Chain A
Amino acid sequence: MLAMQKLSHRLANPSNFMALSGRLLPLCCGLAALLLIAGLGLAFFGSPPDYQQGQTVKIMYVHVPAAWLALMIYALIALSSFTLLVFRHPLADVSAKAAAPIGATFTFLALATGSLWGKPMWGTFWVWDPRLTSVLILFFLYLGLMALRASIEDEALAAKLTAVLSLVGIAILPVIKFSVEWNSLHQPASVMRLGAPTIHPSLLWPLLVMALGFMALFAALYLKAMRNEILRRRLKSLRKVAATGAGAALSQQAAV
């Protein structure tokens, strides 16, 4: 706990963060590549096809980790938002802003793979299965965050309002999931479920490896996005200073 606090203190200085992330980034990329290749290998060659679903069950190895990541990333955004509002950590907003589009993409990936998985099974590209529905609503939450941020010109204000929205979102997310589950339990219509087959060790390992690979991939993208954002902000403030300097020079010229 104390170590975490000291780390976050040190990282509050963007330059320290840039230095640390610069070293971590190639590691994360390498790790991601390694794990994903290993995961896919295990998925296709190490685990048996499902007796009902055939090879198409392998989509699960992308769909399930993607859905996990989508949820984890939203939790990360909520945590960053909390840190922004309560501790005013300088990098908290950079974290939230960088993570949102990546989270939205993972969510979309989960939706797309879920859709592809459903097609051979049920003949349609979409089913209102509880998990897919929850992921769809999570996608809207992400879109809402990004749209809100884009609609506010003042960046500092946008940061705070987006933080409030993400905290409201994380509070209501369990309620949404619960309500969607409830809905599927009580609807009289036949329940379609994209359940993973009962987890057998040979199925579990590829899933975990893929999940870790996705996490490493996210870490790489996230660090890169944060670095980009820090650089963009630096550029912006340099431009501002240059503009006011030029303005002052202009008014001095006019006065003379």
Chain B
Amino acid sequence: MRLVADKLAVARGNRTILAGLSFELEAGDSLVLTGPNGAGKTTLIRTLAGLIPPAAGALWLDGGEPDQSLGEASHYVGHLNAIKSILTVAENVGFWSRFCGGAAPQRDAALAAFGLSQLADIPAAYLSAGQKRRLGLARLLLAPRPLWLLDEPTAALDAAAEAALAAAVAGHLAAGGVVVAATHQPLPWRNQRQLRLEPAAPGP
């Protein structure tokens, strides 16, 4: 299982903000994207998720299911948590779990891993920012996906929650998954390859 990018170019609107990007990630690898705001970290993650078509170059997953797009093989956790305020924690988890093809044991495990089991029947609107982030991240454990795409996953997390995320990522990598994460802060798991993105120099 490998994630391969070959001379990938990434565009935001009509402007190409990254070009000539090539990397190969093997099972168990994690790639951490750093760089100032506007450098293209989020845009690159969204391109990997399939939300933005690449401006040039190729991007593919070796050893994944055939006919499966990159997005279908990944869990994308962006800045936003993708939770519905009016539904309870359990209802949110239940929906994503069934939508992604997960099962009940994984739901309970995900809630437990991120310390949300006590909050299961509370409407998501009443959660704190940290708790909402944990709920958003819990989606990662609901169903197995080879690729995890995380955009600033540790924002709003306290130390305990960071540890929970680290444990989840470590488990995923140990099972042969790949993680690509964009961040401003150091991320709490080992075996990270770093890629620093710089904004394009202004020119004609």
User: Within 8 Å of chain A (Cβ to Cβ): is B202?
Assistant: yes
Interface size on A, residues (CB 8 A): 8
Partner pick for A156 among B13, B202, B203, B204, CB 8 A cutoff = B13
* Interface residue ranges, B against A (CB under 8 Å): 13-14, 201-204
Residues 208-250 (chain A) with a chain B CB within 8 angstroms: 241, 244-245, 247-248
When distances are taken between beta carbons in the complex, the residues of chain A under 8 Å from B202 are 241, 244-245, 247-248
The residue on A at minimum CB distance from B14 is A156
Contact assessment for B204 and A241 in the assembled complex, using a CB-CB cutoff below 8 Å: yes
B12 → chain A closest CB, angstroms: 10
The residue on B at minimum CB distance from A157 is B13
Interface of B is mostly: loop
B174 → chain A closest CB, angstroms: 42
**What would 10 more interface pairs be, CB under 8 Å, given A156-B14, A241-B202?**
A154-B13, A156-B13, A157-B13, A241-B203, A241-B204, A244-B202, A245-B202, A247-B202, A248-B201, A248-B202
How long is the Cα–Cα vector from A245 to B202 in the complex, in angstroms? 6
A254 → chain B closest CB, angstroms: 15
A54 → chain B closest CB, angstroms: 57
The residue on B at minimum CB distance from A246 is B202
When distances are taken between beta carbons in the complex, the residues of chain A under 8 Å from B204 are 241
How long is the Cα–Cα vector from A247 to B203 in the complex, in angstroms? 12
> What are 12 inter-chain pairs, A to B, with CB distance below 8 A?
A154-B13, A156-B13, A156-B14, A157-B13, A241-B202, A241-B203, A241-B204, A244-B202, A245-B202, A247-B202, A248-B201, A248-B202
B52 → chain A closest CB, angstroms: 12
When distances are taken between beta carbons in the complex, the residues of chain A under 8 Å from B201 are 248
B38 → chain A closest CB, angstroms: 12
How long is the Cα–Cα vector from A244 to B202 in the complex, in angstroms? 6
How long is the Cα–Cα vector from A248 to B204 in the complex, in angstroms? 13
